A = this chain, B = another copy of it.
Amino acid sequence: LNISVIGDGGWGTTLAILLSNKGYNVILWSAFEENALYINRHRENLKYLPGVKIPQTLKITSSLGFCIEDAEIVIFAVPSNHLRSVAGLLGRFNIQKKIILSASKGIEENSFKRMSEVLKEVLSLKQISVVSGPNIAMEIARGLPASTVVASENESMARMLQEVLITDRLRVYTSTDVVGVETGGALKNIIAIAAGVCDGLQFGTNAKAALMVRGMLEITRLGMAMGGKKDTFFGLSGMGDLITTCLSPNSRNRTFGETIAKGGNPLEMFSKSIMAIEGVRTAKATVHLALKYNVEMPITEQVYQIVFNKKDPTSAVDALMTRLAKTE
Q: Which residues of A contact B (CB under 8 A)?
A: 134-136, 139-140, 142, 144-147, 149, 162, 166, 168-169, 171-175, 203-210, 212-214, 216-217, 231-232, 234-237, 239-241, 243-244, 247-248, 317-318, 321-323, 325-328
Contact = CB atoms under 8 A, between A and B. Distances in A.
Contact of A235 (B147, B213, B241): B213
B326 A173 contact: yes
A212 to B, nearest CB: 6
B140 A206 contact: yes
Contacts of A146: 204, 206-207, 210
B205 A247 contact: yes
A157 to B, nearest CB: 14
A205 B244 contact: yes
Copies of this protein chain in the complex? 2
Contacts of A171: 210, 321-323, 325
A206 B173 contact: no
Nearest to A175: B328
A240 B195 CA distance: 13
A321 B168 CA distance: 8
Contact of A206 (B135, B217, B231, B234): B135
Contacts of A232: 328
A328 B208 contact: no
A134 B206 contact: yes
8 contacts: A139-B205, A145-B204, A147-B207, A147-B321, A149-B328, A171-B323, A174-B326, A216-B234
Contact of A166 (B210, B217, B244, B325): B325
Given A235-B328, A240-B209, A136 B204 contact: yes
Contacts of A216: 234, 239
A151 B217 CA distance: 19
A161 to B, nearest CB: 12
A244 B203 CA distance: 12
A328 B204 CA distance: 32
Contact of A134 (B149, B209, B247): B209
Contacts of A166: 325
B235 A203 contact: no
A234 to B, nearest CB: 5
A203 B144 contact: yes
Contacts of A327: 173-175
Among A209, A212, A216, A247, max chain B CB count under 10 A is at A209
